[in-house]
Structure 1
Amino acid sequence: MRVWAISNQKGGVGKTTTAMSLGSLLAAEGKRTLLVDMDPHASLSGYIGVEGGAHGSVYDLFGVSGNPLPVRTLVHATQWGNLSVLPASAAMITLDRQLGTKPGMGLVLSQALAELAPDFDHVLLDCPPTLGVLMVNALAASDRLLVPTQTEALALAGLERMLRSLSMIERSRGKPMPRTIVPTLFDARTHASRACLAQLREQYGDVVSEAVIPTDTQIREASAAGVPLASWPAARRGGLAYRQLLAELLAKPATAVTDAAA
């Protein structure tokens, strides 16, 4: 089972769109795919139409109010074949305060996903934009990190924060986390977008994906309709870019971490 975390410490860079798009494309190829919404804002859960709360969510894995719920009871099938979701809920925002320094809380998700290993081929984790127990759990459970990064100057600061946070977590893991930076919201018509993409490639080299996700209004239309890109033919440019990205991720080993790429 492959587990990919999709994270950046900046909002609005396409994390949820990337998780949903890659997940739906994997499912369309017959891969048993689980989407895990690690963000208390629950954008992914809302997109896919499976809200947490009364039906249980990632929050219930932590046993804050009693014993943790079995992870299989929290996984929901969706209307799209091979695609399941473990939803988020607003209660997750309280986890850092409620758990405090309680030991062992950084491996809760890893242990839950280990139980699901026979059931899924791929797991994609849509992470919150803040460093806390949820992001720590996601990165600890993952074997690859995808960092969607909007191709504009301000987004580079969020990328740098994300990589600094990753360095701290790598020290705790005792091993490097392979990562891929995914340029998103690229507009080839603007100098700013082209310059930012060039800077990403110059600074991070092979860590940056060859595939670039363009600005495509049909991606927003698909999201508003609650339909994944794999089922939204109008999103031709965006859909093609995500297909190229998925092919690249499956064919190309994640880039090993070096000091230059950190």
Structure 2
Amino acid sequence: MTRTQRSESTGPTPEIVAVFGQRAGVGATTTAVNLAMGLAAAGRSVLLLDLDPEGGAGRAMGVAERERGGTGRLLRERAVRRDMIAATQIPQFYLAPAGPELAALDANPDEDEDSLTRLYQALATLPALSLDFDHVILDCPPSLDVLTGNALIAAHRILLPLAADVPTLDTLPALLKQVNELRAGCRQPLYGCYLLIGRRTATVNSRDLIAQVRLEYGRMALAAEIPFDSRLAKAETPTQPLLMSALTREISRAYLNLTAEWLMLGERGDRPDGGWRPSARAERLERHRARLTRNIEHWRLDPLSKLYDPEQAMRHQDTEALGVLFEAAAPRRRFSLDRRPGRATWLTLALILLAGALSVRLQPWRLDEQRRLDLAARLLGPERQWEAGSRLLARADERAYRELLLAARLLETNRARLIACAGRATPSGPVECPVVLPSMGVDP
């Protein structure tokens, strides 16, 4: 990656990250190696410095001290030279391995006044190299010694893997205080200190401790959590990064989450203040994870890659071939719903069908006057309802009931006359139609 490309990022160039564990066994070296590989999978150029005299990072990447000068020479000469750095099998991923010389440097801390700034001075010479790095990951020993002090002073960001247990949480405030005191007055800006929680068990007590850490330290605690892996605990030294060996394991997916979250530290969110809405943040993390997984799988399937795995490539080809055969043999679906209709959709369809049926049913009534009259009579109610209404009216108002009966009799008496008059009607003139009118003195 060129310097022009790197200048578009908001963070420092290169970003220096110190990975420091309070004690051995919390996964600091595993975290440093897999974070470095994840950043390389994101297209970043990464340099991993192994500052632990045990040399765990070098063994995990297959690079030993005897192959290169390593971090011992780097601290002694206060400069980074090309012959101190070894290329790994992963593209854009370089390593400065550790060696026994580091232990000797740690044993003589008072050799000079600036013994804690050796690494800071050495990393200041990085622009003179022919290689450009976006990230420098520092794998520190599990103690706050001279080597760790050099890393903490030189770092832009500090990553603290920790176990979710009572002893660790009890000593964490004192450790953070020591780090603040060590960083006081340093030239190198510190952009953040982050806690990476390791889940040892899934008990209620463990969940309560994790919740306590997140409550007390807020944004310092990363969302990613590293689960306990029994297979990793049984191995004395990992022979390769977890992201290289098995992406399907839970711990590997956890390190993908860590890398995706780390990439978002230098990105501006979708809110005006630079923060992220929860939905947008989750979508961005998923995009980063998908990209990392795709690039790592490409390394293992590409015959030109140093990470090419013939067995993995054969399984991938078999999977693709079976998928093509299954797609060819499967019956074609002529119609499919991408989304199951809900209750409101079904109700709307039922109302539309009912309205259509009524319109068809009522079409003849709209054209025939007699049918319209019959329809109006039906809408008034059946005969039983008419009789019941008449009885209720008789009880409520006797005179109104008698008048209603008189009107019904007159209608029946004059019905024949009205029909005869309608038959004699002509367009030339009106026709007289005598009808029987009620007498106001007649009692029905």
- The TM tier, using the shorter chain, reads 0.7 to 0.9
Tell me, yes or no, if structure 1 residue 139 matches structure 2 residue 152.
Answer: yes
TM-score of the superposed pair, with normalisation by structure 1: 0.85
Counterparts in 2 of 1:248 and 1:115: CA distance versus 1, 3 Å: same
Quick one: which of 84, 89, 96 aligns to 2:106?
A: 96
Q: CA RMSD in A?
A: 2.5
Tell me, yes or no, if structure 1 residue 228 matches structure 2 residue 241.
Answer: yes
Corresponding residue for residue 126 of structure 1: 139
**Deviation of residue 87 (structure 1)?**
1.0
**What percent of counterpart residues are identical?**
33
Corresponding residue for residue 41 of structure 1: 54
* Structure 1 residues 110-150: Cα deviation after superposition (integer angstroms, max 9, x where no partner): 22223225521111111112222211210111110000011
AA aligned to 1:185 is: R
Q: Superposition pairs for residues 74-223 of structure 1, below 5 Å?
A: 74-117=84-127, 119-173=132-186, 176=190, 178-187=192-201, 189-217=202-230, 219=232
AA aligned to 1:102 is: D
Name whichever of 49-58 and 125-134 sits farther off. Answer: 49-58
Cα distance in 1 between the residues matched to 2:23 and 2:68: 29
**Deviation of residue 29 (structure 1)?**
2.2
Aligned length: 250
SS of 2:94 mapped into structure 1: strand
Point out the structure with max Rg over C-alpha: 2
**Deviation of residue 177 (structure 1)?**
5.4
Quick one: which of 62, 77, 83 aligns to 1:73?
A: 83
Cα distance in 1 between the residues matched to 2:221 and 2:111: 35
Q: Which runs of 5+ in 2 are unaligned?
A: 1-13, 268-444
Counterparts in 2 of 1:224 and 1:167: CA distance versus 1, 3 Å: closer
Q: Which runs of 5+ in 1 are unaligned?
A: 255-262
Q: Superposition pairs for residues 43-62 of structure 1, below 5 Å?
A: 43-53=56-66, 55-62=68-75
TM-score of the superposed pair, with normalisation by structure 2: 0.52
* Structure 1 residues 2-53: Cα deviation after superposition (integer angstroms, max 9, x where no partner): 1111112222111011101111111122211111111112111222221225
**Deviation of residue 105 (structure 1)?**
2.3
Name whichever of 15-24 and 80-89 sits farther off. Answer: 80-89
Quick one: which of 23, 39, 42 aligns to 1:26?
A: 39
Cα distance in 2 between the residues matched to 1:91 and 1:157: 34
Deviation >6 Å, runs of 4+: none
Corresponding residue for residue 237 of structure 1: 250
Cα distance in 2 between the residues matched to 1:81 and 1:223: 26
Structure with the largest fraction of helix? 2
Between the two structures, name the one with larger relative contact order (CA 8 Å, sep ≥ 6).
1
